[in-house]
Amino acid sequence: MKNKNLYNYILGIADNSLILGQRLGELCGHGPSLETDIACTNMSLDLLGQVRSYYQYAAKIAGDGRTEDDIAMLRKEREYFNVLLVEQPNTDFGYTMARQFLFDVYHFLMLTELEKSTDLNLSAIAKKSIKEVSYHKRFSSDWIKRLGDGTEESHSRIQTAINDLWTYTDELFHQTEADKAIVAEGVGVDVTKLKDAYYEEVNAVLEEATLSVPQSKYFQKGGKQGIHTEHMGYLLADLQYMQRTYPNMEW
């Protein structure tokens, strides 16, 4: 492949949206209210729409006849580059919102920079996505505040979720070799530079939600290198079920 770094860089971005979209899709029809159900489905739809644009572009770069679906559904677990945060399960609505919030703040900052990319395809995808993600961020931040401020039970549940997922936040700012190369070309976003703004914004929302900012300095990583948590295999088993069971067919 001529531009392997760009291809891998795109997968790194797209896989986050794919896996989070898949997780949100699991909840469709099972939300705490019709309104939240519709909103979570909406976010899933937005993310998967973005994913299609990214993979279509990646397929073009790969130029080996693979389609967006081949890229989305026919890789081995070790070849998915999403961060560990997005693959975490929907333990309860608190975890779902905490995961969403911790990702949305990052996602918004990243897209704001990606829009400035010299790669016009990526810039256009970012421009379209940023409107959607700004809504996601508002939705998840509002729920963090609602749950933090709401009842004793909701406060304790959302605090637990934030504490548990905090360990996956640092990885958002790691760079792979492909990332570094693409940043150097002026195409990619240097995520290391987003870290301060990220924690500042996250901490402000947590404070408003009367939640405490976790102090742990121990973080987990590995997703960007394709080393995932134990949840990932099951998620992929669902995602890939049809493509694996009925190979080489059109749907």
Partner 1 sequence: MSGDQIKNLEAEFEARIARDEKIEPKDWMPEKYRQTHIRQISQHAHSEIVGMLPEGNWITRAPSLRRKVALLAKVQDEAGHGLYLYSACETLGITRDELYEQLHSGKAKYSSIFNYPTVTWADMGAIGWLVDGAAIINQVPLCNTSFGPYARAMVRVCKEESFHQRQGYEIMLKLCNGTPEQKEMAQDALNRWWWPSLMMLGPTDDMSVHTEQSMKWKLKRKTNDELRQQFIDQTVPQADILGLTIPDPDLKWNEERQSYDFGEINWDEFWQVVKGHGPMNKERMKARVGAWERGEWVRDAAMAHAEKQQERKNKQVV
Is residue 239 near partner 1 by the rule CB under 8 A?
yes
| Contact region with partner 1 (CB under 8 A), list: 102-110, 140-148, 161-169, 222-230 | 140-148
Residue from the set 16, 17, 44, 129 that interacts with partner 1 by CB under 8 A: 44
Size of the residue set binding partner 1 (CB under 8 A): 47
Is residue 186 near partner 1 by the rule CB under 8 A?
no
Cα–Cα nearest to 8, from 61, 67, 65, 77: 61
State in angstroms the smallest separation of the CB of 79 from partner 1: 17
Residue from the set 3, 49, 124, 221 that interacts with partner 1 by CB under 8 A: 49
Residue from the set 3, 52, 113, 229 that interacts with partner 1 by CB under 8 A: 52
Cα–Cα nearest to 129, from 151, 104, 102, 111: 111
C-beta closer to partner 1: residue 25 or 214:
25
Is residue 65 near partner 1 by the rule CB under 8 A?
no
Residue from the set 3, 37, 74, 75 that interacts with partner 1 by CB under 8 A: 37
What single string gives the DSSP state of each residue in the chain? -TTHHHHHHHHHHHHHHHHHHHHHHHTTT-SSSHHHHHHHHHHHHHHHHHHHHHHHHHHHHH-SS--HHHHHHSS-GGG----HHHHS---SHHHHHHHHHHHHHHHHHHHHHHTT-S-HHHHHHHHHHHHHHHHHHHHHHHHHHHHHHS-HHHHHHHHHHHHHHHTTTGGGG---HHHHHHHHTTSS--GGGGHHHHHHHHHHHHHHTTPPPP--------GGGT---THHHHHHHHHHHHHHHSTT---
Residue from the set 89, 130, 150, 160 that interacts with partner 1 by CB under 8 A: 150
Is residue 241 near partner 1 by the rule CB under 8 A?
yes
For residues 251 and 57, give the distance between their C-alpha atoms in angstroms, rounded to a whole number: 21
| Contact region with partner 1 (CB under 8 A), list: 42-50, 57-65, 75-83, 189-197 | 42-50
Is residue 159 near partner 1 by the rule CB under 8 A?
no
Residue from the set 107, 137, 157, 228 that interacts with partner 1 by CB under 8 A: 157
Give the residues lining the site for partner 1 (CB under 8 A).
22, 25-26, 28-38, 41-42, 44-45, 48-49, 51-52, 55, 68-69, 72-73, 92-93, 145-147, 149-151, 153-154, 157, 238-239, 241-243, 246, 249-251
